[in-house]
Structure 1
Amino acid sequence: MGKLVIIALLVSAALAGAGIWYTNTRAFYDPIEGPVTLTLDGAESLVSIPAQDVTAIASTSSPLGFRACFSHDLTMPEDLAAPRAGVAPTVAPGWFACFDADAIAGLLADGTATAFTGYKNVQYGVDRIVALTADGRGWAWHELNDCGHKAYDGTPVGEACPDRTTFEPLIEGSL
């Protein structure tokens, strides 16, 4: 009888572990079918990035679950948009092999890649960040902006943030 209880506990633990792993790495991510909005938030307007070979995923449970990889033939656009400092790509699921957060962070740290704000408030309080290299590689992910940090920690957001009741998020491919 004791062996059956131990086996049942081990099987239950293995199934629970598999369920947790699946939920964290696969269940809430879907590939984005169709066009992905890849822009740079320039001084006067949005500038479209001429991207090819775009592969992107998004999480159905969080606006921060967006990741994209692409190639481009843009010269480094410092004259189009101001570089954004202090960003760090978030880890993507292991099966999304083109997005290696540690490698991208290394490229940003050594100056091989430059990060830009791609689209402000793609979702309420969330900016799309785009990192580009001079050799034609690019990545995009989402990060909380100041309004997002305030909104989600309970601090009053203030007048600088968009009105949440009338806010309309970006619809992929709509630009």
Structure 2
Amino acid sequence: MNGKLVASLILLIALVAGGAIYYLQMYGYYDRVIPTPGQDVQLVARNSDVSEPIAYTDFQAIDANSSPIRYRACFTTDLSADTLAATYVERQGGEPRVAPGWFDCFDAKAIGAGIEAGTIRVFLSRKNIDYGVDRVVGISSDGHGWAWHELNDCGDKNYDGTPVGEECPSRPQPGSTGAGG
């Protein structure tokens, strides 16, 4: 009888811990981003290397303080990707990370497939929004758009332990707010 009680207790603790981990990963760390009309979607201009807002509607986003790469956003725009490419810095490829299931406007697999197929074009939104992390924006041919964070070359080097070298900015000191937010 004692063995069954211990086994049941272990099982109960495992279920509670598993439920807590699931909740924290899917809901606990994420917050909805409060929109800032006219400023939420920006692209880096070719001629100035400065982020400029573009026209958009239907903006919604989530973010988390636990990681600089948890940002995801969805929006629509009347601007075509071809028009944007003439003025703003375009990136080759892109790897959107999977969003929690409840944030259903951001389907990373479909966005990634669109990037591979060439129906979604990727633009630089903000360089070093956090140390080693860039915000990128994908725009589809039908005007849907998505934004997410990706590691840049300095971030890749920093997080895999490779010396970052002189081409990377100085790493912020602990307790500072980083390169931008």
TM-score (norm 1): 0.89
Counterpart AA for 1:128: R
For the 8 Å contact 2:96–2:111, the answer to whether it is kept is yes
1:73 to 78, 81, 90: 78
1:117 to 124, 133, 155: 124
For residues 42 and 7 of structure 1, what CA distance do their matches in structure 2 show? Answer: 61
For the 8 Å contact 2:95–2:112, the answer to whether it is kept is yes
Secondary structure of the structure 1 residue equivalent to 2:123: strand
Alpha-carbon offset, residue 3 of structure 1 = 2.7
Unaligned runs of 5+ in 2: none
Between the two proteins, the alignment pairs up a number of residues equal to 171
Secondary structure of the structure 2 residue equivalent to 1:90: coil
Secondary structure of the structure 1 residue equivalent to 2:113: helix
Higher RCO, 1 vs 2 (CA within 8 Å, ≥6 residues apart): 1
Percent identity of paired positions between Structure 1 and Structure 2: 46
For residues 14 and 165 of structure 1, what CA distance do their matches in structure 2 show? Answer: 40
- Say if 2:72 is the partner of 1:53: no
Give 2:24's aligned residue.
23
Give 1:42's aligned residue.
45
For the 8 Å contact 1:130–1:138, the answer to whether it is kept is yes
For residues 179 and 16 of structure 2, what CA distance do their matches in structure 1 show? Answer: 37
Give 2:169's aligned residue.
162
**1:84-163 correspondence to structure 2 within 5 Å:** 84-163=91-170
Counterpart AA for 2:93: G
Give 1:32's aligned residue.
33
Secondary structure of the structure 2 residue equivalent to 1:44: coil
Q: Deviations over 1:122-170 (max 9, x none)?
A: 1111000100012110000000000111222232222222223488533
Secondary structure of the structure 2 residue equivalent to 1:53: strand
Alpha-carbon offset, residue 79 of structure 1 = 0.2
Unaligned runs of 5+ in 1: none
Q: Which moved more, 1:100-109 or 1:153-162?
A: 153-162
TM-score (norm 2): 0.87
For residues 151 and 41 of structure 2, what CA distance do their matches in structure 1 show? Answer: 18
Q: Deviations over 1:51-85 (max 9, x none)?
A: 21111001110000000001111122110124211
Counterpart AA for 1:34: P
For residues 168 and 3 of structure 1, what CA distance do their matches in structure 2 show? Answer: 52
